Structure formats: C-alpha cells, structure tokens
Chains A and B, each alone.
Chain A
Amino acid sequence: TQLLEQSPQFLSIQEGENLTVYCNSSSVFSSLQWYRQEPGEGPVLLVTVVTGGEVKKLKRLTFQFGDARKDSSLHITAAQPGDTGLYLCAGAYGNDMRFGAGTRLTVKP
C-alpha cells in the first residue's frame, strides 16, 4: 500500500531547467530514502534523511526533510538528460516501510 504521495507523477523539462519533486504523508517518518531507477534496472539509493529539517546535497541534487518529518523534497538544479529516470521516495514508519508511486522525469536535450 502506497501511503506516500509523490508529485508530480510525470515531468518533462528541457536541459538546464530546475525542478522539484515532492513526497508527502500524514504520518511521521523515522527516516526517508530517495531512489533513482533507470529502465530495466533496480532502483539505486541516492540519499537517506533522518533528522527533521535536514538538508543533504549530492552534486546538483538537494534533498530536504521537513521539520515535522512528514514530507521531503528533491530539487535538481540545471537538469541534464542523464537525470532522466524514475525517482522514488520510501519512508520508514517504525518497522514498516512505505513508498511513493514515483516521479518519472524526462530531461530533453
């Protein structure tokens, strides 16, 4: 059951543009992960955030965990065609794990 709301579900932009993907829930996460999946492959872990208000940067990607630990965002600066893929968030609720439906990003050259 997908209890994490991810938006937008689809995003198509031009190379060089910025974008933000959101992951929201009514419940509090103990931790949250962001993954990127390319066609025909399994998702690859990008980052784990644990502390409310935490911000992590991975080159052009900036991940933020909400102060209340109910939401998170992924911001990509100056997107490149290589950023194309399915971005997934997954949240931990105690011993349970939930994930979003994913955001399919296409960056056109």
Chain B
Amino acid sequence: GAVVSQHPSWVICKSGTSVKIECRSLDFQATTMFWYRQFPKQSLMLMATSNEGSKATYEQGVEKDKFLINHASLTLSTLTVTSAHPEDSSFYICSAVQGAGNTIYFGEGSWLTVV
C-alpha cells in the first residue's frame, strides 16, 4: 500500500516554543491531507483538512493561529504548534488521500511532549 511518513516521530519542547511536524506522502501525490490529535485511549480527533495550494480548513474549536498548517506541495504538509503549552502534549497523526479511489493512508504519528 501507499506510504505516508511523519517526522519527527517524537519531540520534546519547552513551553512557549514552537514545533513543526512534517507529513509526507512518499509514493503518491496528495492534494488533500488531514491532521488529527489523539489523546491516550481515545479515538482520533480531526483538527483540520490541509489542501495543497490553499488555506487549511479547521474543525470547530481548533485554533488556526496556534496550529499552523502549510501544504506547500503535493507530497508535503506541515503542522506547526506555536507557543506550545503542556496541554498541547499529545499524539498527532496525519493522513493523505490517494487518488480517485479516495483511500486514506495514515502516517505513523508524532508524539509531542511540552515541558
């Protein structure tokens, strides 16, 4: 199947700093990517839909100025958590839509810990 890769797989940052997470579709082009947040033992929470060449669409309650999304190319979307706080600590997952079949492939996830 198609491969979606996230980097870094885990990161620890200080409170108040910003951290960037990358999501790449390695063997296909994705005009649409999704970013999710997942707390322990809970399901995925969709944060935003990332569209190549246009602004991201954020879900209700997600601060777009805090979670900056850039979909600069057909194979790369980035999520930047700005002015991170301990409550932003979570598992962040991206997914990419492949082709006309609309199959979603997920990245491996990125653990963010804010201290």
Report the minimal beta-carbon distance from A6 to chain B, rounded to whole angstroms.
9
Report the minimal beta-carbon distance from A3 to chain B, rounded to whole angstroms.
11
Report the minimal beta-carbon distance from B45 to chain A, rounded to whole angstroms.
9
Cα distance, A31 to B87, chains bound together (Å): 36
Which secondary structure characterizes the binding site on chain B?
Answer: strand
In contact, B109 and A41 (Cβ under 8 angstroms) = yes
B88 touches A (CB below 8 Å): no
In contact, A42 and B102 (Cβ under 8 angstroms) = no
Residues of A contacting B46 in the complex (Cβ-Cβ under 8 angstroms): 1-2, 99
In contact, A90 and B104 (Cβ under 8 angstroms) = yes
A80 touches B (CB below 8 Å): no
In contact, B41 and A104 (Cβ under 8 angstroms) = yes
In contact, A42 and B103 (Cβ under 8 angstroms) = no
Report the minimal beta-carbon distance from A78 to chain B, rounded to whole angstroms.
25
A40 touches B (CB below 8 Å): yes
- The answer to whether residues A41 and B34 also contact, given A1-B46, A97-B97 and a CB cut-off of 8 A, is no
In contact, A86 and B43 (Cβ under 8 angstroms) = yes
Total contacting residues, chain A, CB less than 8 A: 26
* 20 additional contacts (CB under 8 A) given A42-B93, A45-B104: A1-B46, A1-B59, A31-B103, A33-B103, A40-B91, A41-B109, A42-B6, A42-B107, A43-B93, A43-B106, A45-B106, A50-B101, A88-B43, A88-B44, A90-B104, A97-B34, A97-B97, A99-B44, A100-B43, A104-B41
Query: Which residues of B come within 8 Å of A, CB atoms?
Result: 1, 4, 6, 32, 34, 41, 43-44, 46, 59-60, 91, 93, 95, 97, 101-109, 111
Query: Which residues of A come within 8 Å of B, CB atoms?
Result: 1-2, 30-31, 33, 35, 37, 40-45, 48, 50, 86, 88, 90, 92, 95, 97, 99-102, 104
